[in-house]
C-alpha cells in the first residue's frame, strides 16, 4: 500500500489507491484544529449521542478535525490550532494525541509486506522534532515514513505540460515554499515563514473582527475573516473598499517575499547550470492562491524583482488544496517503483 499525508496547518489530507496503480484516488481531509469543552457529563453525553470523536483530558474534552467546525456552536471560544505556530507542539499532549487519532482515521490499514507513506512536515522551526514525531505516528500505523518537500511534489502533480520543469510555489497557512525543478528533480528550494494565517490575523486586528466568549473576553474571529476573504467577490486586481485594499497590500507583501526567494534561487550556480537561461513556467497551489487576480499579482512581483524575463507563464491550479497530497502519492508510487526495479532507476 502506498499512501500520502499532507500535514497542513489548515487541514491534514491523505490520499491512497484502494487497489493497484491506476485505480481512483481516495482522499480524506480533516481540519487541523480543535475546540475545548468542559469535561462534564452533559457534554460527554451530547458528543456520544452525536457520535462525535473526541479526546478527554482531566478537566476538558477536545473535539478535533472536521467535527470541530461542525460542533463550534457548543463553545464561544474560537477553535485552536493543532500545529502551534506551524509545528508539532512538544508541550501539548492533547494536540499530539489528536494528531495520532487523525492519522488513524485517514490512513487505510496496510495491506502488504511493504507499505510506504510519503508526507510533508509543517513549519520552519523545530522541523526535525516534528518530522520525528510524525514519522513515529506513521510507523505505528504500519507504514514506512518518507518526508518530502511540498513544493517539489507539486511539480510532479501539475508539471506534465512543462516536462516537470519550472518553478513551483505552495502557499499554506503558516509557510510558503518555492522550488525550482528540472525533469521532476528539485535543483533548489526554500521555505518562507509566512502564509495565509499572517494575512488573516492582520486583517482581524486592523478591522477589529472579534468574537466574544461568555465572560466578555475578545478573540480574533479568524473564521469570519476566512469566509470573507474566500468569497468569489474578492479580487486582488480590483479592490473595492478599505478592507479589500488592505487585503491586496497584505498579499503584495507576502508575494514580494516569494518573488525575492525565486530570484535568489535562480541566482544559485547549480540552478543556472541545470536550467541555463530558459524561461520557466510557474505553478502555484495552496488555498490562498485561489483568490482572483493571484497570478497577475505574482507576475508584478516578478517584474519588481527583475526576473520577469525568466518567466514563461504563471498559473494557478484547478484544485489548489489537493495538489500537494496528489503529488505526494505520485512521489510514493515512483519511489516504490524504483525500489522494485533498482536497475531501471539507476
Domain boundary among 119, 149, 179: 149
**Cell numbers 539507476: residue:** 346
Q: Please give the pLDDT value at position 276.
A: 85
199 and 254 assigned to the same domain: yes
**Cell numbers 482515521: residue:** 105
Q: Please give the pLDDT value at position 22.
A: 65
The Cα–Cα gap between 312 and 166 comes to: 9
220 and 190 assigned to the same domain: yes
Query: What are the cell numbers at 161?
Result: 505540460
Checking phi first, is residue 274 left (phi over 0); if not, alpha (psi -120 to 50) or beta? alpha
Distance of CA 76 to the CA centre of its chain: 27
Helices then strands, each counted (H, E), the chain: 12, 16
229 and 287 assigned to the same domain: yes
Question: Is residue 69 in a domain?
Answer: yes
**Cell numbers 468569489: residue:** 232
pLDDT tens-place string over residues 50-89: 888 888 777 888 899 999 888 888 888 888 899 987 888 8
166 and 309 assigned to the same domain: yes
The Cα–Cα gap between 282 and 280 comes to: 6
2-7 and 116-119: which strand pairing? parallel
180 and 307 assigned to the same domain: yes
96 and 21 assigned to the same domain: yes
Domain boundary among 149, 172, 199: 149
211 and 307 assigned to the same domain: yes
**Cell numbers 531501471: residue:** 344
CA dihedral for 157, 162, 164, 170, sign (positive or negative): negative
**Distance between first and last Cα of the chain:** 24
Closest by alpha carbon to 13, among 335, 290, 285? 285
3-state SS class at 54: strand
Question: Is residue 327 in a domain?
Answer: no
DSSP string, 147-190: E--HHHHHHHHH-GGGTT-EEEEEE-SS-EEEEEEETTEEEEEE
Closest by alpha carbon to 54, among 37, 42, 41? 37
205 and 294 assigned to the same domain: yes
23 and 135 assigned to the same domain: yes
Question: Is residue 323 in a domain?
Answer: no
144 and 268 assigned to the same domain: no
3-state SS class at 28: strand
3-state SS class at 221: coil
Cross-strand partners of 284: 169, 316
Q: Please give the pLDDT value at position 346.
A: 45
134 and 167 assigned to the same domain: no
Give the domain CATH number at 112. Answer: 3.30.420.40
Q: Which residues of the chain have pLDDT under 50?
A: 345-346
Question: Is residue 330 in a domain?
Answer: no
Question: Is residue 12 in a domain?
Answer: yes
Q: Please give the pLDDT value at position 26.
A: 94
Which residues, 6 or more positions from 209, have their beta carbon under 8 angstroms from its beta carbon?
203, 220, 221, 224, 225
Question: Is residue 332 in a domain?
Answer: no
CA dihedral for 127, 129, 133, 136, sign (positive or negative): positive
Structural domain boundaries, residue 13: 2-149
How many domains is the chain partitioned into structurally? 2
159 and 306 assigned to the same domain: yes
pTM metric for this prediction: 0.92
The Cα–Cα gap between 339 and 177 comes to: 28
Domain boundary among 99, 120, 149: 149
The Cα–Cα gap between 18 and 155 comes to: 24
Question: Is residue 337 in a domain?
Answer: no
Amino acid at each position: 500500500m502506498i499512501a500520502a499525508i499532507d500535514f497542513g496547518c489548515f487541514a491534514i489530507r491523505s490520499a491512497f489507491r484502494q487497489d493497484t496503480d491506476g485505480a481512483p484516488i481516495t482522499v480524506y481531509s480533516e481540519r487541523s484544529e480543535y475546540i475545548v469543552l468542559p469535561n462534564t457529563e452533559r457534554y460527554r453525553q451530547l458528543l456520544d449521542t452525536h457520535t462525535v470523536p473526541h479526546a478527554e483530558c482531566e478537566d476538558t474534552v477536545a473535539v478535533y478535525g472536521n467535527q470541530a467546525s461542525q460542533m463550534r456552536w457548543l463553545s464561544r471560544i474560537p477553535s485552536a490550532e493543532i500545529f502551534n505556530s506551524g509545528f508539532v507542539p512538544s508541550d501539548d499532549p492533547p494536540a499530539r494525541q489528536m494528531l495520532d487519532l487523525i492519522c488513524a482515521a485517514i490512513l487505510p490499514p496496510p495491506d502488504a509486506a511493504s507499505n510506504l507513506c510519503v508526507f510533508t512536515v509543517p513549519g520552519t522551526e523545530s522541523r526535525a522534532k516534528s518530522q520525528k514525531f510524525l514519522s513515529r505516528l506513521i510507523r505505528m500505523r504500519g507504514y514506512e515514513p518518507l518526508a518530502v518537500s511540498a513544493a517539489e511534489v507539486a511539480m510532479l502533480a501539475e508539471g506534465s505540460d512543462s516536462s516537470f520543469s519550472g518553478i513551483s510555489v505552495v502557499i499554506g497557512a503558516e509557510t510558503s515554499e518555492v522550488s525550482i525543478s528540472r525533469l521532476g528533480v528539485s535543483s533548489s528550494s526554500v521555505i518562507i515563514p509566512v502564509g495565509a494565517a499572517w494575512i488573516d490575523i492582520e486583517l482581524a486586528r486592523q478591522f477589529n473582527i472579534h468574537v466574544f466568549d461568555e465572560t466578555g473576553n475578545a478573540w480574533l474571529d479568524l473564521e469570519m475573516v476566512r469566509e470573507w476573504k474566500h468569497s468569489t467577490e474578492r479580487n486582488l486586481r480590483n479592490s473595492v473598499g478599505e478592507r479589500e485594499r488592505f487585503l491586496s497590500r497584505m498579499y503584495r507583501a507576502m508575494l514580494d517575499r516569494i518573488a525575492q526567494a525565486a530570484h535568489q534561487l535562480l541566482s544559485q550556480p547549480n540552478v543556472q547550470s541545470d536550467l541555463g537561461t530558459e524561461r520557466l513556467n510557474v505553478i502555484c497551489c495552496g488555498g490562498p492562491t485561489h483568490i482572483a487576480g493571484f497570478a497577475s499579482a505574482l507576475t508584478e512581483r516578478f517584474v519588481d524583482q527583475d526576473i520577469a524575463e525568466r518567466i514563461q507563464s504563471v498559473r494557478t491550479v484547478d484544485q489548489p488544496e489537493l495538489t500537494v497530497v496528489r503529488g505526494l502519492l505520485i512521489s510514493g508510487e515512483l519511489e516504490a517503483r524504483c525500489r522494485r526495479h533498482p536497475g531501471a532507476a539507476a
